[in-house]
A = this chain, B = another copy of it.
């Protein structure tokens, strides 16, 4: 009873089950995968695999299907991800290169990934951990109303209209802007708060209140970026892919809609050696996703923001992982320009 063959059997079961959707039996296995042994031997192997909790038989007279643990071992066993086809790579490249805005880029990415994998794709907005302040702007809209704009070195622009406690002049604003800009030059967005606190003290007394309001706004704008948003696409794929509908699809849609949940989930994913991180079924911390798997990876300069997909546990992990990784790489590359 050789251990390597048992793993091979597991692999075969996973592969067959993933694309047939039906429990796979010993005989069928022997036929389709030219393992050099008889079905009886496979049965013995299967018995062991079942004992180890890697596969399970839904009914006595049915074949076996992988458990979450089985998928996990299967995925861990996967050493090299086969690269995408040339056509797919070309598709990625041409699609992403046409993008302008960062919003546009992410939007295209997420659509692309959902098409490539036939799953629901999600992309987190880039973290700004290392992003620096590139520019700030205060625009006087009304005597006590100011548009605050914050531009980061990643090209992200956030803006917001606020009401300041007392009327200010264009002059005042200009002065404050110089003040802040000087203090913030080259500061990372995450440290904006501490830097601005100091600056506040050096502001002329009569502008103190206004300055404080502006600082609050800037902090919030920096926060928006860090707070994370995400884009998603391909929810319709859920309807196709899932076998037993109402029970599976509902919770997944809910999780997707509660972006907070998704974002936390994504941020909790640890990258493994291959650079793609997989969470399978019950490995997910939120009960509602116990029927779903997440495949994700980081992108961008520090790989801190995540891009990935969400789908039923019964998914084609190798291809999905390859697609996610490829898209993440192209995305990183595009963002570098």
Contact = CB atoms under 8 A, between A and B. Distances in A.
A160 interface: yes
Contact of A161 (B139, B157, B253, B254): B157
Contact of A160 (B101, B135, B236, B245): B101
A236 B254 CA distance: 5
Contacts of A135: 139, 141, 147
Interface string A248-273: 01110110110000000000000000
B151 A157 contact: no
A303 to B, nearest CB: 24
B160 A159 contact: no
A139 to B, nearest CB: 5
Given A239-B249, A249-B239, A253-B236, A159 B149 contact: yes
A189 to B, nearest CB: 16
Contact of A235 (B147, B151, B253): B253
Interface in A208-246: 233-236, 238-240, 245-246
A161 B154 CA distance: 12
A251 B246 CA distance: 16
Nearest to A243: B246
A279 interface: no
A137 interface: yes
A246 B297 CA distance: 30
Contact of A141 (B134, B141, B159, B249): B134
A239 B245 contact: yes
Contacts of A159: 149, 157, 159
Nearest to A239: B250
A155 interface: yes
Interface residues of A, number: 30
Contacts of A239: 245-246, 249-250, 253
A121 B69 CA distance: 38
Given A141-B134, A239-B253, A245-B245, A155 B149 contact: no
Contacts of A157: 147, 159-161
A149 B151 contact: no
B134 A137 contact: no
Contact of A250 (B151, B240, B253, B254): B240
B149 A141 contact: no
A135 B141 CA distance: 7
A228 to B, nearest CB: 15
Given A239-B245, A245-B245, 12 more contacts: A135-B139, A135-B147, A147-B151, A149-B159, A233-B257, A235-B235, A236-B251, A236-B254, A236-B257, A239-B250, A239-B253, A245-B246
29 contacts: A101-B160, A134-B141, A135-B139, A137-B139, A137-B147, A139-B149, A139-B151, A141-B151, A147-B149, A147-B151, A147-B157, A149-B159, A151-B161, A157-B159, A157-B160, A159-B159, A233-B257, A234-B257, A235-B235, A236-B250, A236-B253, A236-B256, A239-B245, A239-B246, A239-B249, A239-B250, A239-B253, A245-B245, A245-B246
